[in-house]
Amino acid sequence: MHIQVRTPYMAILECFSSETRVRMIELLDERPRSIKELADTLGVSSAIVTKHIQKMEEAGLIATQNLAGTRGSPKICSLAIDSLTLHLKGAKPKEEERKYAVEIPIGQYSDYAVKPTCGLASDAKIIGYVDDPRYFSDPERMNAAHIWFGSGYVEYRIPNYLHAAQTARQLEFTLELCSEAPYYNENWPSDISFSVNDVETCVWTCPGDFGDKRAVLTPSWWSLGTQHGLLKSLTIQESGTFLDGIKLSNVTIADLGLRHGEDFRFRIASSETARHCGGVSLFGRGFGNYAQDIVVHVHYEERERQGDTAVAVF
């Protein structure tokens, strides 16, 4: 998110004038938390936390979700954006206006090839039978909020809304995932690869399959071990491929063969030939710690005609 340091943005800028609000952002960067959790950790009342959350939610920095609980509906708070860039001088960058976003449900894959351990679950039940890959073709997979497999891949078609005068400059994928061990194992490394249009962009080694701590969103009926993943941000741009801001490869967006009028394919895989073949667990809305599926941002430039001259607008 880009903003100018100007009076129209005071609602956002004022959010950082309070040490309490900044500490709340630090806590939510670790994981989503309830109002009560924030109040207990900060040593202030729930009423005070609620007022701070309302201010940051109105500014677009925080997102909240009410979950059914044993006593009422606790409000779960999470960060709504990954980054914020302040511009002290000059016009607001047009890049902020030159992008679109889509959110792909984790069950909406277009292709797959998986081996056990494997399975799918909605927020209400397990879909089909565990360790039977045939159920990855079940129409009910579209309701999946949790998917896991010991090796193989799932692939998603991402809509390409760009027209002929627009060129993609950066792709961002944000998703919650981890390794896949039988039941769970916090120390279970897995080499997980990410590909676009059959071009492997990078490989990330996830440290484990996390089940020691109960996740915020994972339903109470779930008893197969895995609780949550890690929220990872994959970015492919003109200077290479980055995961959470760390460069992992020299693969650039120009290498992906993106074409006007064609969807692009995003694959998440754990190869049997990898050094650490530890599988993949994916989390969507209703499972894990983050109320989202696979969020994709496509940044682009547009060429406008001014007389006989083509001008690139960012």
With CA atoms as reference, report the closest residue to 108 among 285, 290, 309: 285
The parent domain of residue 138 ranges over 97-302
User: Is residue 293 included in any domain, yes or no?
Assistant: yes
The share of the chain scoring above pLDDT 90, in percent, equals 73
Angle 199-203-207 (CA atoms, 0-180°, nearest 5)?
Answer: 155
Residues 107 and 210 in one domain: yes
Quick one: tokens of 254?
Answer: 């120009």
The H-assigned helical ranges of 31-123 are: 35-42, 46-58
Q: pLDDT tens digits, residue range 214-266?
A: 999 999 999 999 999 999 999 999 999 999 999 999 999 999 999 888 999 99
Comparing 173 with 61, the larger pLDDT belongs to 173
Q: Which residue has the tokens 């960012």?
A: 314
User: Is residue 308 included in any domain, yes or no?
Assistant: no
Per the CB < 8 A criterion, the answer to whether 171 and 194 are in contact is no
User: Is residue 313 included in any domain, yes or no?
Assistant: no
Residues 127 and 187 in one domain: yes
Total number of domains in the chain = 2
Residues 153 and 298 in one domain: yes
Residue 166 phi/psi, 5° resolution?
-115, 145
Confidence (pLDDT) at 1: 65
User: Is residue 307 included in any domain, yes or no?
Assistant: no
CATH assignment at residue 176: 2.60.120.260
Residues 226 and 284 in one domain: yes
Confidence (pLDDT) at 306: 47
**Taking 60 as the threshold, does the pLDDT of residue 96 lie above it?**
no
- Residues 35, 37, 39, 45: is their CA dihedral positive or negative? positive
Task: Enter the pTM of the model.
Answer: 0.73
Residues 81 and 125 in one domain: no
**Taking 60 as the threshold, does the pLDDT of residue 24 lie above it?**
yes
